[in-house]
Amino acid sequence: MMRYAIHRLDADPDSPFPDPLKSDHPDGLIAIGGDLSQTRLLNAYRSGIFPWFEQDGPILWWCPNPRAVLIPGHVHIPKRLQRTLRQGFFKTTVNQQFEQVIQQCATDRGESGETWITEDMLQAYTELNRNGHAHSLEVWRQDQLVGGIYGVAIGNVFFAESKFHTERDASKVALVELMRKLEHDGYVLCDCQLWNPHLEQFNIRMIDREDFLRLVRFGCSQKQAFVNDQQDQQL
């Protein structure tokens, strides 16, 4: 059985994360422990690292290799989804119902019946939203919230975390409209963390961890705003 040296974070939220490039864990586990304070989370994202763990388990910090990303301005929209967008069934808003979106993402458990969005995660990212670091894009059908996506924005990099839908295509609409907004606002990268077949249709790209970290460190150093300029937009 292989054993890997996993860094244990100390209590100081300003303590640095280990260099992901020195990790030999096959799935990209970088560190364990610490907390979900605002300082710790922002330091993690600036280092290309994100938390992902189970309820009642220790906090685990990851930087997988390769990394799944979408590039604003280079997203493929399938023809059927283009028709859905033209039909105008949905409208979108930005940062209007962040707590509802993350709650829905937490309850959208899929086939496993489990969620990685714990109560501590809910509270931490809601605080990030209140402080202007985490953002949501909501999808509505009439007056019903039927889809959404949320993530963290630093510099001109957006770190997408999770999405949900209660109506067909609503989460796809959320992703496409998020990418349009990121392109409009001058973002250069959307981190999607891990490959999955759902993202394949949107021109997901897998890039080497070293290249990803270089892009993130440069992008996070840029000044950028996630502008709430898409409120109540009819598609």
For 78-135, how does the pLDDT look when each residue is reduced to its tens digit (9 = 90+)? 999 999 999 888 999 999 999 999 999 998 655 444 567 899 999 999 999 999 999 9
Q: Would the pLDDT of 224 be above 80?
A: no
Whether 54 is in a domain gets the answer yes
Identify the CA nearest to 28 among candidates 47, 13, 11. Answer: 47
Question: Where residue 45 sits, what CATH number does that domain have?
Answer: 3.30.70.3550
Average pLDDT, the chain: 91
* Mean of pLDDT values over 187-191: 97
For position 112, what pLDDT does the model report?
45
- Return the ∠ at Cα 192 (arms to 57 and 87), rounded to 5°: 120
Q: What is the pLDDT of residue 186?
A: 94
Q: What is the mean pLDDT of residues 158-177?
A: 96
Q: Is 150 exposed, middle or buried (0-12, 13-18, 19+ CB in 10 A)?
A: buried
Calculate ∠ Cα 98-151-44, nearest 5°. 130
pLDDT at res. 231: 47
CB-CB contact of 171 with 92 (8 Å):
no
Residues 96 and 40 both lie in one domain:
no
Report yes or no: 93 and 232 within 8 Å, Cβ to Cβ.
yes
Q: Are residues 189 and 99 in the same domain?
A: yes
112 and 88 both lie in a single domain? yes
Per-residue pLDDT at 114: 52
- Higher per-residue confidence, 5 vs 43: 43
C-alpha–C-alpha distance, residues 221 and 151, integer Å: 18
Please compute the mean of the pLDDT values over residues 23-47 and round it to a whole number.
Answer: 96
Residue with tokens 């033209």: 86
CA distance to 99, 132, 157, 167, per residue, from 40 (Å): 21, 16, 18, 35
Sequence-separated (6 or more) residues with CB below 8 Å from residue 158: 151, 152, 178, 182, 187, 189, 190, 191, 226
- How many domains are contained in the chain? 2
- Structural domain boundaries enclosing 151: 68-234
The answer to whether residues 48 and 77 belong to one domain is no
Using DSSP's 3-state secondary structure scheme, residue 30 falls into strand
% of the chain residues with pLDDT over 90: 78
